Structure 1
Amino acid sequence: MTIKDELLLSLMGHATASRSPALADQISLCWLKIVRKFSPLIGANSVRLIFERSLENNLAIFDWLPALVLPSQPDTAVERLRTSMTGRPSSDILAAHRAILITFIDLMTTLIGARLTIQFLQAAFPVDGAGSNTEENPG
């Protein structure tokens, strides 16, 4: 298993812990953490554009994903995603979340490299019991 696959599995684990209507809220919180973690590194507008591109790239498969109106704020884009997930079956929500994550990771890797992308995602979602220095030594 590649480190990207392990990271994806870990990120999906944060969302799959909750089922039912709380799943859309949990995934929204996940995206807000990601957006806020990367914003100081590449800027809020760049993160918003990458997130929106990740959504747009998956619209053909998940036609219920929101079509975002530019310009928007990252929190607005995440809120529109949460609204579009509400009422959908958990399996649909998780499949879309996984696809959006894969696209986002690929785009960020192209922009800043795999190592930095992985470090920032791991810092956004530290492993339980990893200690307070997770961001300094992400593995």
Structure 2
Amino acid sequence: MESQESQRIAAALASRAETAGQVADGMVSAWQGIEAALSPVIGQRGVAMLYKRSLYLVAPSHPWLTGMHEGVQSSIDLDALKSVFAQQHAAIAAVAGGAFLQTFCELLTSLIGASLTERLLRPVWAHFSSGPPAQDTPP
């Protein structure tokens, strides 16, 4: 079931869909916020494992994400994440990013409950969805 929060996430990514680089920057920003919010609660390795599982679950629908979950151990490789998203068409990257973040939220909710998930991630989503679109830097 898709939550209101995941709908907002997808909408925020879609609003950044002018370029794939902007979507990639938005994904990096979201994951930096997620790591900062959750690492004190479930540890950096716990965040990385949920990240890895989310990638694994979303990859069948977005084959270009296949293999991204391999090798993730105790931290998230944001450079690799940014690179793979930046190589896609903006709309495709936005849809996949929304699905990836939604899957992560659903996994986290299944572990700690909806109320705690919302409280922990509220500042991340507030910043992510209300901030200006990420800036795309030229290569």
Same fold (TM over 0.5): yes
Percent of aligned pairs with the same amino acid: 24
| Aligned twin of 1:117 | 117
For 2:88 and 2:35, how far apart are their aligned partners in 1? 23
**1:71 to 2:73 alignment:** yes
More helix by share: 2
Provide runs of 4+ in structure 1 moved above 3 Å.
none
| Aligned twin of 1:14 | 12
1:68 alignment partner, SS class: coil
Deviates more, 1:79-88 or 1:12-21: 12-21
Letter of the aligned partner of 1:79 in structure 2? D
* Superposition TM-score, scaled by structure 1 size: 0.78
Report how far residue 125 of structure 1 moved: 2.8
| Aligned twin of 2:137 | none
For 2:35 and 2:11, how far apart are their aligned partners in 1? 18
Could you give the per-residue CA deviations for residues 75-110 of structure 1, whole angstroms, max 9, x where no partner exists? x1x322211111211121111112112211111011
Q: Per chain length, whose mean CA-contact separation is higher, i.e. which structure has more relative contact order (CA < 8 Å, sep 6+)?
A: 2
| Aligned twin of 1:135 | none
Alignment of 1:60-139 (within 5 A): 60-65=60-65, 66-74=68-76, 76=77, 78-126=78-126
Greater Cα radius of gyration, structure 1 or 2: 1
